[in-house]
Amino acid sequence: KEFDNIDLHSSLKKYFGFSQFKGLQEEVIKNVLRQNNTFVIMPTGGGKSLCYQLPALMQEGTAIIVSPLIALMKNQVDAIRGVSSENGIAHVLNSSLNKGEIKQVKQDITNGVTKLLYVAPESLTKEENVEFLRSVTISFVAVDEAHCISEWGHDFRPEYRNLKSIVERLGDNIPIIGLTATATPKVQEDIIKNLGIGGATLFKASFNRPNLFYEVRTKTENIEADIIRFVKQNSGKSGIIYCLSRKKVEELAQVLQVNGVSAVPYHAGFDAKTRSKYQDMFLMEDVDVVVATIAFGMGIDKPDVRFVIHHDIPKSIESYYQETGRAGRDGGEGHCLAYYSYKDIEKLEKFMSGKPVAEQEIGNALLQEVVAYAETSMSRRKFMLHYFGEEFDEVNGEGADMDDNTRNPKEKEEAKDGVEK
Ligand code: ADP
Ligand code: MG
């Protein structure tokens, strides 16, 4: 299939209104257009969707996009439809469609109008859908959020494991594109093995966030006073404070309020109306701080979050990276402070004790990495990037001095103590 840089850029402009590709997008897209299997690892917000959307729009046939969440699919379909006069250019195929709607979708695909077909894995595995899709031209299959394949990922979905055999039934040599923001080597191995894309070209963006400062403090009974002090020193700035339990969220929000900090609580126990009210108050800057469980943050795009505090240590380095990643999106400062005590680790272990053994083993292994991160005296950035399979030069790398250990090395303090005594 012929294509050149002019084609790519004019299509980018035409369909998305962008004049430049972001990061590795252009290289990825060229690889997809060459009908190669492709594996894309980019942090959240890196622009992965475009890596399959643009080649799908430029090619003949329909690209199948496997995605875990109906809400995600709907957003993308609406966005794509916005760039075309043709409503059928993108469709979602799922169990909520009625007979008439299904007929329309199939007609659009058969007529070559539909360039992107979004499906949840459980719809793709349905026999009647497989039978239909076998009879039409498929340009490629993109597996978004591909970490769902792996038990080592944070969102394991068993239905994701059968995709390879389905794709094989849809036709010969249909290219597969796997995409994820999960960079751990174990998850990557699982994805490659499961999708059978051993020969795929790997495109991996750096996960380094040089503008974020990482700090861990020992958790004591004075934690609330410590947090209040921190927030007051940063008054007028937006911040998120994550707590493990809903109860703690409400307590801490109240303590902050009583101490003159404008804060709202947020957790999944509030009804939708209350949740969106508190969320909007934070987004519109009616309040500085949101105290929340991890229910808060998915898809929240506030560029100037200046700090993310973890009142309780998270269950994996990955979650920590995702949650702290909400700070400093605009490239400005972002202080990531985690409170740590081994008691909290034991609490998390206890939470898991009711789960199946295999799940417990994985959960404990992930937790041990969190312990190592919290207790390390090396560059926290180096530790985290190493965890994601990335080398980091702790002397000259970008953001090299942006963590507590590098700023105040522990050995030095001890030596100083020795001299003074
Ligand atoms: P990911 O799936 O990697 O988390 P998305 O595909 O959702 O990221 O894209 C994140 C944001 O980047 C979106 O708002 C998207 O419109 C924007 N984006 C993607 N590519 C470009 C580009 N080439 N130029 C400008 N913005 C882009
Ligand atoms: Mg995405």
pLDDT in tens, the chain (421 residues): 456 677 899 999 999 999 999 999 999 999 999 999 999 999 988 999 999 999 999 999 999 999 988 777 888 888 888 877 778 999 999 888 899 999 999 999 999 999 999 999 999 999 999 999 999 999 999 999 999 999 988 889 999 999 999 999 999 999 999 999 998 999 999 999 999 999 999 999 999 999 999 999 999 999 999 999 999 999 999 999 999 999 999 999 999 999 999 999 999 999 999 999 999 999 999 999 999 999 998 778 899 999 999 999 999 999 999 999 999 999 999 999 999 999 999 999 999 998 999 999 999 999 999 999 999 999 999 999 999 999 999 999 999 999 999 999 876 555 445 454 3
Q: Which ligand is nearest to the CA of 12?
A: 1
Q: Which ligand is nearest to the CA of 80?
A: 1
Q: Are 176 and 140 in contact (CB under 8 A)?
A: yes
User: With a 6 A CB cut-off, is 15 part of the ligand 1 pocket?
Assistant: no
Report how far ligand 2's centroid is from the alpha carbon of 261 (Å): 34
| Residues surrounding ion ligand 2 at CB below 5 Å | 48
User: With a 6 A CB cut-off, is 9 part of the ligand 1 pocket?
Assistant: no
In this predicted structure, what is the pLDDT of residue 85?
74
Residue whose tokens read 């959020």: 145
Residue whose tokens read 């996009």: 65
Question: CA nearest 183: which of 205, 209, 155, 159?
Answer: 205
In this predicted structure, what is the pLDDT of residue 421?
35
In this predicted structure, what is the pLDDT of residue 1?
46
Q: Is ipTM > 0.85 here?
A: yes
Radius of gyration of the chain (CA): 24
Spatial distance between the Cα atoms of 163 and 125, rounded to a whole number of angstroms: 8
Q: Which amino acid, 139?
A: S
Report how far ligand 1's centroid is from the alpha carbon of 132 (Å): 32
Question: CA nearest 107: which of 77, 123, 85, 87?
Answer: 87
> Which is the closest atom of ligand 1 to the Cα of 144?
2
Q: Whose CA is nearest to atom 15 of ligand 1?
A: 47
Query: How much is the pTM?
Result: 0.88
In this predicted structure, what is the pLDDT of residue 2?
56
User: With a 6 A CB cut-off, is 47 part of the ligand 1 pocket?
Assistant: yes
Report how far ligand 1's centroid is from the alpha carbon of 46 (Å): 6
User: With a 6 A CB cut-off, is 287 part of the ligand 1 pocket?
Assistant: no
Q: Whose CA is nearest to atom 9 of ligand 1?
A: 47
User: With a 6 A CB cut-off, is 142 part of the ligand 1 pocket?
Assistant: no
Report how far ligand 2's centroid is from the alpha carbon of 50 (Å): 9
Q: Which ligand is nearest to the CA of 147?
A: 2
> Which is the closest atom of ligand 1 to the Cα of 25?
23
H helices then E strands: how many in the chain? Answer: 18, 13
Q: Which ligand is nearest to the CA of 79?
A: 1
Report how far ligand 2's centroid is from the alpha carbon of 182 (Å): 11
Q: Whose CA is nearest to atom 13 of ligand 1?
A: 47
Report how far ligand 1's centroid is from the alpha carbon of 342 (Å): 39
In this predicted structure, what is the pLDDT of residue 338?
98
Strand 176-180 with 38-41, pairing: parallel
Q: Which ligand is nearest to the CA of 18?
A: 1
